[in-house]
Structure 1
Amino acid sequence: MLTIFRGAKIYTMDKENTVFSNADLWVKDGKIIKAGTNTDIPVDATIEDASRLVITPGLIDIHTHVGIWGEIDEHVNDACEYSEPFTPLMDAIDGININHFSFQLARKGGVTTVQTGTGSANPIGGVWSILKTGGSSLEEMLIVERSGLKGALGENPKNVFGQSYNKTPYTRMGVAKIIRNGFQKAMELSSGERDSHMERRTDLSPFIEVLEGKMPLHLHCHRADDIATAIRIAKEFQISLSLEHCTEGHLMLDAIKDCGASVTLGPFMLPSTKYETRNSTPAAPKMFHDAGIPFAIMTDHPFIPIHYLILCAAEAVKYGLDEMAALQSITSEAARLVGIQDRVGSIEAGKDADFVLWSHHPFDSRSTVVATYINGTKAYDGMQR
């Protein structure tokens, strides 16, 4: 059935960042058919009045623990395997609860796609996944089952294991050594041995996937020296790197630009509960944008609740980031950085019909989510909240 949303202002977030006023969005069978003005309406189409509303693509948060961080308490959740520091076989899909309230919060905030998985207690924690925030089963929701190997540098792993559990790693050097060991052992394998490890799904299999370019290494890093360590490790093993948080990245923009890593910035608006986050600033996105470094903005849910993703981007605008660049960072650019731009992130013909109806421009403090659609189906109705 063809449904046409009539009369909206549409931010397509396509390559030209086209914006249509008093435009129509055509949706059929879970896909976007087209968006534009002066369209001839078929007699059999269902018309939805979207006049005076704003439509954007569904928002995308590529660093969360949605559905896997069951509680706020660090030790009452499924996001970190505390039994040992090296746990590469912890797969997000085995811990995600699709009925957890965080998915409801995401839809309420217009977030239709998330990357989620293990937290940052472990130097090597496990494998992340990318999924829609609505659907009847995990299999239906999944976009990318194995989207990256998650690791962490800095205070988190050394404090959890060195201080709390009194075992390695005690230092930043020890954390880096654990990460390197996995890649070094995988590098030493012959082609046949790699096949065997992949078939048996050993601890080295995720490292082989990263080395072979099947997924990136995501490294939690706040302090500038931790970011530098992450870059060194990526160069040593010639692997794709995503810098997660990158809190002091604005202090070393040239090095980050030169290394070509992906960057996910945030969360902002948090107290500096750790020494290494004292230089956190919502002005960082503007600095990255001015330096020509692509980035996404994230919430790190539950540390900033997922439905406040739009506020995180708006905060960056307050500190000078261009509005369109801010919206890109949680739609089209976020999708591109994790390789799902062929399906989501913009309103274009053939893409999944994931979009949000807003009462005002999404960065307007008065704006509310009128409705969130995933695969063409209304997943949140703001009129019934």
Structure 2
Amino acid sequence: MVTVLRNSTVYTMNKSNEVLQNADIWVSEGKIVKVSKCFDLPSDSQVIDCSGQFITPGLIDAHTHVGLWAEVTERQNDANEYSSPWTPLMNAKDGIDPRHFSFEQAVMGGVTTVQTGAGSANPIGGVWSILKTAGASFDDRIIIERSGLKGALGENPKNVFGNQYKTMPMTRMAVAHLIRKGFLEVLHLKDCERERLAENHSELVPFAEVLERKMPLRLHCHRADDIATAIRIAKEFDVKLSLEHCTEGVLMLDAIKASGATVTLGPYMTPASKYENRLSTAKSPKHFHDLDIPFAIMTDHPFIPIQYLYYCVVEAVKYGLDEMAGLKSITLAAAEIMGIADKVGSIEEGKDADFAIWSHKPFETKANVLSTYIEGKEVFRHAGMIR
């Protein structure tokens, strides 16, 4: 059976940024099968009248700790393994609680896909995962189990291990050393030794995967000198790099563009909890957009609750970011940065039927998420919504 979301304004967020008026979205078996202007419908179709409403792709948060971070009265934080500064074998999938209330918050805000994993206490913290925010089973929700090796530069690892535990790293030099360590060890292996890494469950496996470009190196970095170090390390080993936070990136835009790195910006609208993020501003995305540097905007949930991802973009638009570029930063651009644009990020035939249905045009003050769909199934409905 075909389900048809009928007669809405559709923000496709495809390469052409098409906005279709009075359009239909046809869904079958969890996929988009047609996006068109009100064709005649099959006799057995299920019709959902969306007249006067606005549909965007399901929103994507490229940097979160959803399902891992302790919140409210929860005591155990599963996002950071504090036993060692170097924990490359930590796998986000093993720590995510798929029933955690943060996933409910996500769908309330129209967020259908997240990247989540280790925090930034460790110079090398573990491997991240990408998953849907709702679904039949946890395994079915996983899109990419190993989406990047997470590392951190700057104050976090120094404060946790140097200041609190009085062990390495105490300096930025030691942080960089610990990030390089795994790559150097892999490069010193013979080919036959590299081939046996996986079967031996070696701590070097994630580094080998990054060197083979199977996944990127995702480095937490706020200060300009830490951003420069991240770029330098990626260049040394010829690996794909994602600059996470990139707070002072506006001070070195040309270097970031030349590096080919992708960027995940945010969170904004939070207190300057440490000296190195005191310059955090929602003005940054406009500068990256103007230079055509690929970027996504993120919440870093729980530091900004994930249901407010859309409002992080609203704030950037207030400071001059083009509206469509802002919406793209949490849809198609985020999907491209995460390597999942063949599945999600835009409303196009063949992609997953993930949508957010809005009461008003995006970026209007009154815009509310009325419904959220993942793979053609409604996973959230606003309390005042009647179907």
TM tier relative to shorter chain: over 0.9
- The one-letter amino acid of 1:201's match is H
SS of residue matched to 2:383: helix
Following superposition, the deviation at residue 156 of structure 1 comes to: 0.3
Shift in alpha-carbon separation, 1:332–1:125, aligned structure 2, 3 A: same
Identity of aligned residues (%): 63
Following superposition, the deviation at residue 73 of structure 1 comes to: 8.3
Aligned twin of 1:96: 96
Aligned equivalents of 1:190 and 1:364: distance in 2? 59
- The one-letter amino acid of 1:191's match is D
Aligned twin of 1:342: 342
Note the 1:1-385 alignment, pairs <5 A: 1-71=1-71, 76-383=76-383
Aligned equivalents of 2:358 and 2:110: distance in 1? 9
Aligned equivalents of 2:206 and 2:376: distance in 1? 34
Shift in alpha-carbon separation, 1:75–1:149, aligned structure 2, 3 A: farther
- The one-letter amino acid of 1:365's match is T
Where does the alignment leave 5 or more consecutive residues of structure 2 unmatched? Answer: none
Aligned equivalents of 1:73 and 1:174: distance in 2? 34
Shift in alpha-carbon separation, 1:140–1:206, aligned structure 2, 3 A: same
- The one-letter amino acid of 1:290's match is D
Shift in alpha-carbon separation, 1:193–1:72, aligned structure 2, 3 A: farther
Aligned equivalents of 1:332 and 1:73: distance in 2? 35
Aligned equivalents of 2:73 and 2:181: distance in 1? 31
- The one-letter amino acid of 2:333's match is E
Deviates more, 1:25-34 or 1:52-61: 25-34
Following superposition, the deviation at residue 384 of structure 1 comes to: 5.9
- The one-letter amino acid of 1:39's match is F
**CA deviation string 1:312-345 (max 9, x = no partner):** 0111000000000000000000001111000000
Aligned equivalents of 1:58 and 1:201: distance in 2? 36
SS of residue matched to 2:125: strand
Root mean square deviation of aligned Cα: 1.2
Following superposition, the deviation at residue 5 of structure 1 comes to: 1.1
Following superposition, the deviation at residue 74 of structure 1 comes to: 10
Aligned equivalents of 1:197 and 1:4: distance in 2? 49
**CA deviation string 1:156-201 (max 9, x = no partner):** 0000000111111001111001111111001111111111112212
SS of residue matched to 1:200: coil
Contact kept, 8 Å, 1:53 with 1:358, in 2: the verdict is yes
SS of residue matched to 1:93: helix
Contact kept, 8 Å, 1:103 with 1:134, in 2: the verdict is yes
Contact kept, 8 Å, 2:372 with 2:380, in 1: the verdict is yes
SS of residue matched to 1:198: coil
Following superposition, the deviation at residue 368 of structure 1 comes to: 1.0
Following superposition, the deviation at residue 38 of structure 1 comes to: 3.5
Contact kept, 8 Å, 1:11 with 1:57, in 2: the verdict is yes
Following superposition, the deviation at residue 265 of structure 1 comes to: 0.3
Q: How many residues align?
A: 385
Following superposition, the deviation at residue 70 of structure 1 comes to: 2.8
Contact kept, 8 Å, 2:130 with 2:143, in 1: the verdict is yes
- The one-letter amino acid of 2:112's match is T
Shift in alpha-carbon separation, 1:151–1:74, aligned structure 2, 3 A: farther
- The one-letter amino acid of 1:138's match is F
Following superposition, the deviation at residue 363 of structure 1 comes to: 1.8
- The one-letter amino acid of 1:185's match is E
Following superposition, the deviation at residue 136 of structure 1 comes to: 2.8
Following superposition, the deviation at residue 71 of structure 1 comes to: 2.1
Contact kept, 8 Å, 1:70 with 1:100, in 2: the verdict is no
Where does the alignment leave 5 or more consecutive residues of structure 1 unmatched? Answer: none
**CA deviation string 1:208-249 (max 9, x = no partner):** 000011100000000000000000000011111000000000
Aligned equivalents of 1:189 and 1:384: distance in 2? 61
- The one-letter amino acid of 2:304's match is I
Following superposition, the deviation at residue 347 of structure 1 comes to: 0.3
Aligned equivalents of 1:291 and 1:24: distance in 2? 35
**TM-score of the two chains, using structure 1 as the length reference:** 0.98
- The one-letter amino acid of 1:62's match is A
Following superposition, the deviation at residue 356 of structure 1 comes to: 0.8
Contact kept, 8 Å, 1:89 with 1:127, in 2: the verdict is yes
Following superposition, the deviation at residue 46 of structure 1 comes to: 1.1
Aligned equivalents of 1:60 and 1:164: distance in 2? 35
**CA deviation string 1:110-167 (max 9, x = no partner):** 0000000000000000000000000132211000000000000000000000011111
Following superposition, the deviation at residue 76 of structure 1 comes to: 3.2
Following superposition, the deviation at residue 75 of structure 1 comes to: 7.2
SS of residue matched to 1:218: strand
Shift in alpha-carbon separation, 1:128–1:212, aligned structure 2, 3 A: same
**TM-score of the two chains, using structure 2 as the length reference:** 0.98
Contact kept, 8 Å, 2:6 with 2:38, in 1: the verdict is no
Contact kept, 8 Å, 1:72 with 1:302, in 2: the verdict is no
